[in-house]
């Protein structure tokens, strides 16, 4: 079983500012995984159940980009971040994430800092740059940078 709570915090002043867009979005996502939760809507090799919980859990399935443990097996934790959208065509995300174990495990606590910059080039093309640094007890620490050029179909 997986309990997942995702929350975007919208300031009160932004609610009263409609129709202008909300550009600054802080978020706080929490999870608790019991036993070994499995994804229901995609293949297991495409990322763990926490793939969309935060950028420090999101791998691409192609380059083996490093992440914290996104399986949520007997663990709990979350991601705290801020997202800023410039005119809705550029995005900056800064995030801190943590995974704690419910019982003694060789894979201990994990912590990460991550950042993303995304820029829309046209309606079909965008460029994305991700970077992360992770500290993992009982395992090697991880870090990575990736640059993607994406075409939306």
Mean pLDDT of the chain: 87
- On whether the CB atoms of residues 21 and 88 are closer than 8 A, the answer is yes
Query: For the chain, which residues make up each domain, given as ranges?
Result: 2-151
- The top-scoring range by mean pLDDT among 15-24, 44-53, 99-108 is 99-108
Q: What is the pLDDT of residue 64?
A: 82
* pTM confidence score: 0.85
**CA–CA separation, 34 and 77 (whole Å):** 12
Rounded CA separation 40/56 (Å):
21
pLDDT for residue 38 = 83
pLDDT of amino acid 112: 98
At residue 135, the pLDDT reads 97
Q: Residue 44 carries which DSSP code?
A: G
pLDDT given for residue 151 in this prediction: 92
Average pLDDT over residues 99-124: 91
């Amino acid at each position: 079983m997986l309990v997942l709570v995702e929350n975007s915090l919208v300031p009160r002043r932004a609610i009263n500012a409609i129709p202008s867009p909300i550009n600054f979005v802080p978020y706080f996502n929490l999870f608790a995984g019991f036993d070994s939760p499995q994804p229901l809507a995609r293949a297991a090799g495409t990322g763990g159940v926490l793939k969309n919980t935060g950028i420090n859990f999101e791998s691409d399935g192609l380059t083996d980009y490093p992440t914290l443990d996104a399986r949520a097996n007997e663990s709990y934790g979350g991601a705290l971040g801020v997202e800023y959208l410039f005119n809705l065509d550029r995005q900056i995300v800064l995030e801190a994430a943590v995974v704690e174990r419910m019982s003694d495990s060789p894979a201990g606590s994990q912590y990460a800092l991550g950042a993303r910059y995304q820029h829309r080039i046209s309606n079909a093309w965008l460029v994305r740059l991700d970077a992360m640094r992770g500290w993992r007890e009982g395992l090697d620490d991880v870090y990575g940078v990736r640059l993607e050029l994406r075409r939306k179909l």
